[in-house]
Amino acid sequence: MSYWRKKEAEFEEVQQVIQEHPGISIRELARQLDVAPSTIARRLPSLEEAGILLWEDDNEGLWPFEEKS
């Protein structure tokens, strides 16, 4: 079983906060989820593996990736 499948609920929570607060910093995201910023940084590659696509702007803000129609 993939690591991300074990953490699916946590990943969905991360995705929800980012969608509610586009451009949120890793530090602020971690504060809202009550985890260390390093925990968020470690989860980012697994989020992508789970199909949760994000992009980081020049100010290190996290944004949901949305396909343009």
Number of domains, the chain: 1
pTM of the model as a whole = 0.79
DSSP-assigned letters across all residues of 1-69: --HHHHTHHHHHHHHHHHHHSTTEEHHHHHHHHTS-HHHHHHHHHHHHHTT--EEE-TT-EEEE-----
Is the distance from CB of 63 to CB of 22 less than 8 angstroms?
yes
Between 1 and 19, residue with greater pLDDT: 19
Strands 61-64 and 54-56: antiparallel
pLDDT score, position 68: 45
Mean pLDDT of 9-18: 90
pLDDT digits (tens, 9 = 90+) for 16-66: 999 999 999 999 999 999 999 999 988 888 888 888 889 889 988 999 987
Q: What CATH code is carried by the domain that includes residue 34? A: 1.10.10
Name the residue among 22, 20, 26, 48 with its Cα closest to residue 39: 26
Asked whether residue 69 is domain-assigned, the answer is no
Q: Is the per-residue pLDDT at 69 higher than 50?
A: no
